[in-house]
A and B are shown apart, each in its own frame.
Chain A
């Protein structure tokens, strides 16, 4: 049960998803050339400070019950929805990713009044980039798994979905040794820095 740490994750910038998160509707939203240029500059600025890092670990499932998933390391995940999502899986892949501290500093500094427009764009870029890092890790493991004649579930599941409570963030972050990436969990189960995410996928 060794945690894979990815110090630098390179993803294709999810441009469409960033715009979509900002409320851009193709064919409807009318943006001037100057506004697009400014948005692009903000996106560039955000990208220049985002350093995507990730962690992932594979753990065998030892037992399923109706609403419990027991793992070989002794952890038990209590969630009916997660148990259903993982049905048929033999292992769980836990994943975590972060955009780092610097982008959060930039967002906070600007959101407090310096340049709120920039802040909302930075926020969208960081959210989508972090999510893309999870997608990258899933691709990575699918490549590894092909050799083992295994495959990942197509979707991923996160704490906070359905009855899989947000409190599970602590357990997931501990399993992933997320502190090595500079990520902590608050008492209210919020990941700090905020532009960090965790997820689980099944290995079939």
Chain B
């Protein structure tokens, strides 16, 4: 560790270049296990290492990229520790005394929980097995590289750190869009990995140096550790079924200075690079002084796909509080059953309403909090990109959640409770989490700022001994209800102000407690938030779906010039407030009851259709007039617009559903008034045997009903015999058959032929994804491409 730190202070460290493509160039055949091939060809392996040493590499990687058990077992190799040790020894021999050897760890090729089936702790054990072999072979440091999945990188890093304190580099691989395959961007990965204990972070493979330069530039301002880059020799190209890398060693080497300016601390080459690439790279950076990380800590949180830099925020960060079963019976019941649909819904809703973070609490009677919290953390790690706040009073639950969460989280909270703070501080330190400092003890919930101040100072001293900096801590202002303690709000303001202004710490409050027991809570809450904001509040735990608070935030963004041209504010206002005005204006224009019914069809307004029909009838409009002169022309117009692509499918269906609502209401009244409606034509609909796709058929049924057909819907997967039996019940019906697959389409033919053989009088209409006009013709049926055409064809057949 000391040796590499000394090197990093003095110079930009040069790493080796590609080994895989280099071995291929020197005779390694395709399809073999590279690690095994290297063991069997020690001279070539050592020669490649030596060539990189001669080219000027300060660190060479062991040839153990695929040295984990899952990878080796693909080639029938089970001696994981042995092969890793052998390859470390080979590298060690080539490195001599001056060059360091990095034990190279690559992906297992399996996705890790919560993104894949490999359990997180199992992944850690897999990596530990490799780490032990590499340590036995005498490696100096470790490099975890070409990681596509941040969670697998975390598992590997934890494995190394639980076995040794050796310097560890973690290097991710990013796609052209600047994200890993699982959607992690370089800054997010940096925040997660450096807080978890990576000693250097960076990127390798995938892209050429030009694109990788941008990743390094993006990471540098947030890095508290050295940055690493190992680009390919340009972007890979396919040439005569071979992947080639076209960038010359000279061109590659020229990028050295650009990387140095961007702030790189360790640089080498990945696929396609050769010892010559490394020699010229070194030549270009020799004598250039390294740019050390600008900071030693950072106030930032991350999920697998997003990060939030707290110190950069000029406005308060919103922590969504809804994923908490306290007082929510439905959520409690779901959690007890191990279901999470409400959790998912709350997460999506809060995200949509502008929450920056989500607080997660699983404490409820009858709920196994340790398991449930971990399950929710895993679920939300996948289902939301917002970083999570782990909210639990159970140490074991917090530990499980911290270990699994693929980001840097915030623990809510660590207080002065003697039985807990040491353990929680140790956990937060191990997993690199930030934490909320709650100024209370097991003995008291202090009412005054002075008492809170003492507790804060005490915990800060303790936290410092675990290596925490001020950037890692958020002080809770401890909000209490003013209905029971009139001065409570003032004491919280003092706590927030002192913490933010004097201590320069982030602060948070759980806002809604303040108004407990009072009427007009929204008004109290939003006003209190404004006051706290002025006193330096940085985070607030709230329900972002409460309109007034969300609105308040939009207004604040405009006032603080955070919303260019007030666009977001205006959009929000129109959505939640302005709409009412717009709608009422529109309604004013559509005045007569018939017009309202017509407009409801055109708009697919299912909610108001029934009321408009009732109004029309009440004002003397006849039911048959509404159907024949208003609704049918309107739905025909909608069909035309759909044909012209001016309407899309949801509009067509919503209009059809609106008409159906009106029909269902009007139909009994038509009978009562003995209105003269044409005798309805029977149309039998079925998805044929073996086929279970019926959404298209259901749409056709809906449309046909609206056009006055008497639809007999037999459902899906209907046997030929059943369809035939049904045809026999009616006089000259139309039979509509649907099929989505080539394997089931043939059953249409069977139905048509059986009906013909039995001499049944009916007409066939067929449709479905694989059905074509020519196929329909070949079996003696009419064809309709969609529901609008089905209505048109059925009307023609009716005549």
Residues of chain A whose beta carbon lies under 8 Å from any beta carbon of chain B = 2, 4-8, 10, 12, 19, 22-25, 28-35, 37-39, 42, 44, 47-49, 88, 107, 111-113, 115-117, 119-121, 123-124, 136, 139-140, 143-144, 146-151, 160, 165-167, 186-190, 192, 194, 204
Contact = CB atoms under 8 A, between A and B. Distances in A.
Nearest to A145: B243
B205 interface: yes
* Residue of B146, B183, B649 ringed by the most chain A CB atoms within 10 A: B649
A7 B242 CA distance: 32
Interface in B78-126: 109-111, 113-117
A100 to B, nearest CB: 13
Contact of B650 (A2, A121, A189): A121
A32 B603 contact: yes
B264 to A, nearest CB: 23
Contacts of A30: 646-647
Contact of B111 (A7, A23, A151, A187): A7
B502 interface: no
B353 interface: no
B30 A25 contact: no
A4 B345 contact: no
Contacts of A117: 604, 606, 650, 653-654, 657
Interface in B228-253: 236, 238, 241-243
B591 to A, nearest CB: 20
Given A117-B650, A120-B650, A88 B241 contact: yes
* Residue of B344, B656, B741 ringed by the most chain A CB atoms within 10 A: B741
B693 A194 contact: yes
Contacts of B205: 146-147
Contacts of B645: 23, 25, 28-29
Interface in B171-191: 173, 175, 181-183
A4 B110 contact: yes
B5 interface: no
B364 interface: no
Contact of B698 (A19, A38, A112, A136): A112
B742 interface: yes
B556 to A, nearest CB: 24
Contacts of A144: 109
B446 interface: no
* Residue of A22, A24, A29, A136 ringed by the most chain B CB atoms within 10 A: A29
Contacts of B648: 19, 22-25, 29, 31
Contact of B117 (A5, A121, A136): A5
B737 interface: no
A29 B21 CA distance: 52
A35 B655 CA distance: 11
Contacts of A146: 205-206, 236, 243, 271
B744 interface: yes
Given A8-B116, A10-B183, A48-B344, A149 B21 contact: yes
Nearest to A19: B648
Given A7-B111, A29-B647, A35-B604, A140 B181 contact: yes
A22 B651 CA distance: 10
B702 interface: yes
Contacts of A49: 341, 344
Contacts of A47: 348
Given A31-B651, A143-B173, A190 B699 contact: no
Contact of B695 (A2, A24, A107, A160): A107
20 contacts: A6-B115, A7-B113, A7-B114, A7-B117, A10-B115, A22-B648, A30-B647, A34-B603, A37-B575, A38-B654, A48-B341, A49-B341, A116-B698, A117-B606, A136-B181, A139-B175, A143-B148, A147-B65, A188-B691, A192-B692
B352 interface: yes
A160 B743 CA distance: 9
A35 B638 CA distance: 14
B692 A149 contact: no
A190 B741 contact: yes
A28 B604 contact: no
A166 B742 contact: yes
Given A2-B74, A32-B603, A107-B695, A139 B181 contact: yes
* Residue of A6, A190, A194 ringed by the most chain B CB atoms within 10 A: A190
A204 B241 contact: yes
B466 interface: no
A166 B657 contact: no
A128 B330 CA distance: 32
Contact of B649 (A4, A120, A190, A204): A120
Nearest to A140: B181
A186 B690 contact: yes
Given A35-B604, A160-B741, A48 B642 contact: no
Contacts of B348: 44, 47-48
A24 B383 CA distance: 27
Nearest to A119: B695
A122 to B, nearest CB: 9
A143 B147 CA distance: 10
Contacts of A149: 21, 24, 30, 242-243
A29 B243 contact: no
Contacts of A44: 348, 352
Contacts of A37: 575
Nearest to B304: A10
Contacts of B650: 22, 35, 38-39, 42, 117, 120-121
B251 to A, nearest CB: 20
Given A31-B651, A112-B698, A6 B690 contact: no
B575 A22 contact: no
Contacts of B575: 37
Given A29-B645, A31-B651, A146-B243, A116 B702 contact: yes
B450 to A, nearest CB: 47
Contact of B109 (A4, A19, A25, A107): A4
Nearest to A154: B238
A39 B648 CA distance: 11
B116 A6 contact: yes
B725 interface: no
Interface string B678-708: 0000000000011111110011001000000
A123 to B, nearest CB: 5
A151 B235 CA distance: 13
A141 to B, nearest CB: 10
Given A4-B109, A30-B646, A34-B579, 5 more contacts: A8-B114, A23-B648, A143-B181, A160-B770, A190-B743
A145 to B, nearest CB: 8
A140 B148 contact: yes
A3 to B, nearest CB: 10
A116 B699 contact: yes
Contacts of B293: none
A24 B645 CA distance: 7
A8 B24 contact: no
Nearest to B177: A12
* Residue of A12, A23, A117, A148 ringed by the most chain B CB atoms within 10 A: A117
A120 B651 CA distance: 11
A123 B642 contact: no
A112 B113 CA distance: 37
Contacts of B146: 147
